Structure 1
Amino acid sequence: MRLKDKVSVVTGGAEGIGRETAIRLAKEGSKVIVSDFNEELGELTVRDIQESGGEARFFKADVTSFEQVEALVEFTVQTFGNIHVMFNNAGIGITKPFLDHSPEDYHKVVNVNQHGVYYGMLAAARKMKDLGTEGVIINNASVFGFVGTLGITGYQAAKGAVVMLTKHGALELAPHGIRVVGIGPAAVNTKIVQGYRDAGLLEYMKKQQLTRKLIEPEEIAAVTAFLATDEARSLNGSIVMADDGFASFKSDIRP
Structure 2
Amino acid sequence: MSRRAPSMRACVASHATGGEGMAAPGDVTDEAQVQRYVDAVLERWGRIDILVNNAALLGGRGVLDESAADFERSVRVSSLGYFLNTKIVARSMAERGIRGSIVCVSSSNGWSGSPGVIAYAFNKGGVNNFVRAAAMDLAPYGIRVNSFTPTAPTPDNPELLAEGVRGVLDAPPGALRNGSGVETAAEPWRRPVRWQGERAPMVPMGTTGTPTDIGHAIAWLSSDYARLITGTDLVVDGGARARNFAYIPAAAEQLAGPVPLIALDDAALPVV
Q: TM-score, normalised on structure 2?
A: 0.73
Aligned partner of 1:46 in structure 2 is: 12
Q: State the 1:136 CA deviation.
A: 0.8
Match of 1:169 in 2: 134
Q: Which runs of 5+ in 1 are unaligned?
A: 1-34
Aligned to 2:182: none
C-alpha distance in 2 between matches for 1:220 and 1:213: 13
Q: Could you tell me how far apart the structure 2 residues matched to 1:78 and 1:56 are?
A: 13
1:229 is the counterpart of 2:223: yes
- Which residue identity does 1:140 align to in structure 2? V
Question: What letter matches 1:249 in structure 2?
Answer: R
1:85–1:135: 8 Å Cα contact kept in structure 2? yes
Q: Tell me if 1:87 matches 2:52.
A: yes
Structure 1, 61-70 or 139-148: larger mean CA deviation: 61-70
Aligned partners of 2:200 and 2:248 also within 8 Å: no
Distance across 2 between alignment mates of 1:137 and 1:206 = 37
Equivalent position amino acid for 1:36 in 2: S
SS in structure 1 of the partner of residue 240 of structure 2: coil
Distance 1:194 1:168 in 2: 37
**Which residue number in structure 2 is paired with residue 145 of structure 1?**
110
The change in CA–CA distance for 1:187 and 1:49 in structure 2 (over 3 A counts) is closer
Q: Secondary structure at the match of 1:210?
A: coil
Alpha-carbon separation, structure 2, partners of 1:205 and 1:44: 35
Which amino acid is 1:138 matched to? V
Separation in structure 2 between the aligned mates of residue 95 and residue 205 of structure 1, nearest angstrom: 23
Deviation at 1:53?
1.9
Q: What is the alpha-carbon distance in structure 1 between the residues aligned to residue 118 and residue 217 of structure 2?
A: 27
Alpha-carbon deviation of 1:108? 2.0
Aligned-partner Cα distance in 1 for 2:220–2:166: 25
Q: Which structure: greater helix fraction?
A: 1
- In 2 relative to 1, CA 224–164 (structure 1 residues): closer, same or farther, beyond 3 Å? same
Q: Does 1:181 align with 2:146?
A: yes
Q: What is the aligned-residue RMSD (CA, Å)?
A: 2.4
Q: What is the aligned partner in structure 1 of residue 174 from structure 2?
A: 201
TM-score, with structure 1 as normaliser = 0.78
Shift in alpha-carbon separation, 1:108–1:201, aligned structure 2, 3 A: farther
Q: Is the 8 A contact 1:95 1:195 kept in 2?
A: no
What is the alpha-carbon distance in structure 2 between the residues aligned to residue 116 and residue 248 of structure 1? 29
Which of 38, 57, 71 does residue 36 from structure 2 map onto? 71
Aligned-partner SS, 1:99: coil
Q: Percent identity?
A: 26
Partner residue of 1:8? none
Letter in 1 for 2:242: S
Q: Supply the distance in 2 between the matched residues of 1:196 and 1:206 (Cα, whole angstroms).
A: 19
The answer (yes or no) to whether the contact 2:49–2:100 under 8 Å persists in 1 is: yes
Q: Measure the CA separation in 2 of the matches of 1:195 and 1:164.
A: 29
Between Structure 1 and Structure 2, the one with more strand by share is: 1
Determine helix, strand or coil for the equivalent of 2:22: strand
1:97 deviates by: 2.6
Measure the CA separation in 2 of the matches of 1:111 and 1:197.
28
Q: Tell me, in whole angstroms, the C-alpha distance in 2 between the residues paired with 1:110 and 1:212.
A: 32
Change (3 A) 1:208 1:98: farther
2:73 partner SS: helix
Residues 159 and 214 from structure 1, CA distance in 2 versus in 1: closer, same or farther, beyond 3 angstroms? same
Larger of the two Rg values belongs to structure: 2
1:16-48 alpha-carbon deviations (Å, 9 max, x no partner): xxxxxxxxxxxxxxxxxxx22221121123234
